[in-house]
Amino acid sequence: MKIAICPGSFDPVTKGHLDVIKRASKLFDKVIVVVMQNVRKKDSNSFTVEERLDFIKRCTCDIGNVETDSYVGLLADYAREKNAAAIVKGLRAVSDFEDEFQQSLTNMRLNPDVETVFITAKSEYMFLSSSVVKQVAGYGGEVDDFIPAQIIDEVNKRLNHK
Ligand code: ADP
């Protein structure tokens, strides 16, 4: 069974993330979406890990081969624990590339058994990130085009400070 992991902060999950997860689910037998609890980014998160996991679960419940999880530690170790064949990352633009390339080479060194696979972002989601959602929602802007319908009310309630 070919297992892929889709790691990220997902603070919150966006339509761009979801598109990558869906496309990965067609390529692999099982996809584990894992909320990485990045110690460095911890204080800047708007949603708890439990909330982020709940959002992802609600938006992926119609995809049979997707599971969710969270992890504190090295992605290379997590991949080994799960016996994953691939780490799937979405690539939006050249700006993502350098950092992703560095992470991919590091993971290759730490765990040579896992390949990093890049999925090109859909053109309509090229600009989209969780930070964009937070900025727009924070000022009362409409985020319906950016995040899945299942989570809009909760995201607005938390982020709209107007
Ligand atoms: P963000 O950059 O939005 O904070 P994460 O750290 O949660 O996102 O990213 C998890 C993964 O999803 C990364 O591989 C990232 O490149 C990818 N990703 C994020 N937004 C998009 C998007 N709009 N389209 C495709 N991939 C994306």
64 pLDDT exceeds 90?
A: yes
Which residues are CB-contacts of 69 (< 8 A; sequence separation ≥ 6)? 32, 33, 34, 35, 53
CATH T-level topology, domain 3-123: Rossmann fold (3.40.50)
20 lines ligand 1 (CB under 6 A): yes
Q: For residue 33, how far is the Cα from the chain centroid?
A: 7
Strands (E), the chain: 3-8, 30-36, 66-71, 86-91, 115-120
Catalytically active residues, by annotation: 17, 41, 92, 130
The tens digit of pLDDT for each residue in 75-131 reads 999 999 999 999 999 999 887 889 999 999 999 999 999 999 999 999 999 999 999
Neighbours of 135 (CB within 10 A): 13
pLDDT in tens, 145-159: 999 999 999 999 999
Owner of token pair 């999950």: 13
Ligand 1 atom nearest to CA at 88: 14
Pocket test for ligand 1, best of 5, 20, 59, 116 (most atoms within 8 A of CB): 20
From 11, 92, 126, the mutation candidate for ligand 1 (largest count of ligand atoms within 8 A of CB) is 92
C-alpha–C-alpha distance, residues 24 and 117, integer Å: 9
Strand partners, 120: 91
Give CA separation, 137 vs 38, 44, 124, 144, 154, in Å. Answer: 23, 16, 19, 10, 11
What pLDDT sits at residue 106? Answer: 97
Q: Is the pTM of this model over 0.85?
A: yes
Residue ranges of domains in the chain:
3-123
Contact residues for 95 (Cβ-Cβ < 8 A; gap 6+) = none
